[in-house]
Amino acid sequence: MGFLPGGSEWLIILLVIIILFGAKKIPELMRGLGSGIREFKNAANSNDEKDAKNDTPKSE
């Protein structure tokens, strides 16, 4: 069906990441990734709220 790595493939991917970035850099990279995802979600939610306010009919 789809391409999803199995257990041994995940282990190899993890080892390559550790070799490329080093064990000390990985938490910093994950923190940056997490904050980026959080910013994206906040921006998406604020745009949804703005759209909802603009879509409501104005009563005069």
24 belongs to a structural domain: yes
Residue 29 domain boundaries: 8-46
Residue 59 in any domain: the answer is no
What does the DSSP 8-state code read for residue 59?
P
Q: How many Å apart are CA 50 and CA 48, to the nearest integer? A: 5
- Stronger pLDDT, 3 or 28, i.e. the higher one: 28
Total domains, the chain: 1
- Rounded to the nearest 5°, which phi and psi values hold at 59? -95, 125
pLDDT at 41: 92
Is 1's pLDDT higher than 60?
A: no
**Any domain includes 26:** yes
Q: What is the pLDDT of residues 4-46, one digit of tens each?
A: 878 899 899 989 988 888 888 888 888 999 999 999 999 988 8
Residue 1 lies in a domain: no
What pLDDT score does 49 carry? 73
Length of the chain: 60
Domain membership flag for residue 52:
no
DSSP class of residue 56 equals S
Residues 56 and 48: beta-carbon distance below 8 Å: no
pLDDT number for residue 58: 58
| pTM confidence score | 0.51
